Amino acid sequence: MNKVVANAEEALRGIADNMTLMVGGFGLCGIPENSINALVKSGVKGLTCISNNAGVDDFGLGLLLQTKQIRKMISSYVGENAEFERQMLSGELEVELIPQGTLAERCRAGGAGIPAFFTPAGYGTEVAAGKETREFHGKMYVMEEWLRADFALVKAWKGDRLGNLVYKRTARNFNPMMAMAGTVTVAEVEHLVEPGEVDPDEVHTPGIFVQRIFQGSNYEKRIEQRTVRKR
């Protein structure tokens, strides 16, 4: 089955106001830049975005925050975005902060069809407020529910037209789990190849999880924080 579409605009067909989106990447690494830019242009609003980070002020999901297209963020680390901070403190943006490992596992559980699981992370803190807790082998655990999304937007280094994906290094932190948990998964890739050009042993996301794939372009690949030393 050929899952290739022409561009990001065609790949995002069907995304409407008030939908829930998973957006892959870790910091600014492995984020679906082309898809995010297309979302900004589309004007879709009221979005709930599930992403480890919220980008920076002028890049990544920060662009959607600037245009007030995001209603709620479900994230782990958001410390690099001043506009995010402003909207959260003013009450303009609803925010659910989740321990990073729990966020990853909730996405993975959504893709694996596991509606809930128990984790010790967050027990005794605000994270556990209103959630079921249970003791296992003398230790307390918090029940967390899966996360799923109407669309999952991921970015891979290489993919074939059947949707088999290969990520590079840090981009594997959240993209593979989110690719499994979207009702429709859109993958943008740096290198779009023919079936057989991806070694089966190197596939990180099997094509069965991907509905649409396109060749991305003009990747900036920014560094979130650049630290240099004086000569």
CA distances from 228 to 28, 29, 224, 225 (A): 18, 19, 13, 10
- Is residue 206 in some structural domain? yes
- Is residue 73 in some structural domain? yes
- Is residue 133 in some structural domain? no
Give the pLDDT score at 14. 96
Give the pLDDT score at 27. 87
Tokens in use for 145?
């529910």
- Is residue 228 in some structural domain? no
The domain that holds 57 is classified in CATH as: 3.40.1080.10
- Is residue 27 in some structural domain? yes
Give the pLDDT score at 78. 81
- Is residue 220 in some structural domain? no
Phi (first) and psi of residue 146, to 5 degrees:
-60, 165
Give the pLDDT score at 228. 85
- Picking from 71, 120, 118, 119, the residue whose alpha carbon sits closest to that of residue 96 is 71
Bridge partners (DSSP) of residue 72 are 48, 94
Domain that holds residue 55: 8-112+147-215
- Is residue 197 in some structural domain? yes
Domain count, the chain: 1
Q: What is the pTM of this model?
A: 0.92
- Is residue 160 in some structural domain? yes
SS3 24: coil
Give the pLDDT score at 173. 93
Give the pLDDT score at 229. 84
Which residue is it, tokens 């490992």?
A: 101
Give the pLDDT score at 32. 96
- Predicted confidence pLDDT, tens digits, the chain (231 residues): 889 999 999 999 999 999 999 999 998 899 999 999 999 999 999 999 999 998 888 899 999 999 999 999 999 988 778 899 999 999 999 999 999 999 999 999 999 999 999 999 999 999 999 999 999 999 999 999 999 999 999 999 999 999 999 999 999 999 999 999 999 999 999 999 999 999 999 999 999 999 999 999 988 877 777 788 887
Quote the CA–CA distance of 188 and 32 in Å, as a whole number.
7
Give the pLDDT score at 105. 97
